[in-house]
């Protein structure tokens, strides 16, 4: 669904400072890119599609504008992929504690 209606919870995006406007002390690689910002709120426009400039009311009640980039924004962080490199640790420690040998 790419269309949001008034009152929908959405994520918006803004450029705070363009590359030219960045502070003099930032490293070169950072200076090459813009300072970007994301925030979330309830859509105030009657309707909008992804990419539209919209106005939202944030959860605490501030009204801000920005480009709508996501509707019902999701948390996607998780426990990652299995990391096999970690799997020796528990067994190694238990074997040392039980009087077994350490690795060497």
Partner 1 sequence: MNKDMSYKAVNDRKNEIMKKAVGIDYGTFESKGIAFDYEGMMKKVGYTIDEIKEIEGRTGIGNTPVYELRNLTALARKFAPEGKGARIFVKDEAANPSGSYKARRAAASVYHAKKMGYKGVIAATSGNYGAAVASQAAMLGLKCIIVQECYDSEHKGQPEIVEKARKCEAYGAEVVQLTVGPELFYTFLVLLEETGYFNASLYTPFGIAGVETLGYEIAEQFKEKEGKFPDVVVATNAGGGNLTGTARGLIKAGATDTQVIGASVDLSGLHMASDKQFNKKSFTTGHTGFGIPFATWPDRSDVPRSAARPLRYMDRYVTVTQGEVFYITEALAQVEGLERGPAGNTSLAAAFSLAQELDKDKIIVVQETEYTGAGKHIQPQLSFAKDNGIKVVVGDPKDQVPGENIVLPKDPSYIKVNEIKLDKLKRSFIKNAIANNSDVDITEKDIKFLAEETRKDEEFVKSILDELGVKY
Contacts with partner 1, residue ranges (CB under 8 A): 16-17, 21-23, 25-27, 29-30, 32-40, 58-62, 75-83, 85-86, 88-90, 92-94, 96-97, 102-104
Q: How far apart are CA 36 and CA 92, in angstroms?
A: 45
Q: Count CB-CB contacts under 10 A for residue 41.
A: 22
Closest distance of CB 56 from partner 1, Å: 11
Closest distance of CB 29 from partner 1, Å: 5
Helix, strand, or coil (residue 100): coil
By beta-carbon proximity to partner 1, the closer residue of 2 and 61 is 61
CA angle 62, 6, 58 (to 5 degrees): 20
Closest distance of CB 48 from partner 1, Å: 20
């Amino acid at each position: 669904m790419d269309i949001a209606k008034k009152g929908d919870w959405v994520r918006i995006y803004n450029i705070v400072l363009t590359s030219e406007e960045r502070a003099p002390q930032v490293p070169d690689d950072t200076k090459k890119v813009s300072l970007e910002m994301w925030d979330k709120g309830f859509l105030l426009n009657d309707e909008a599609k992804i990419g539209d400039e919209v106005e939202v009311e944030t959860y605490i009640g501030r009204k801000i504008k920005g480009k709508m980039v996501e509707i019902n924004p999701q948390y996607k962080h998780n426990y990652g992929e299995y990391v096999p490199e970690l799997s020796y640790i528990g067994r190694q420690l238990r074997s040392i504690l039980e009087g077994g040998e350490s690795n060497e």
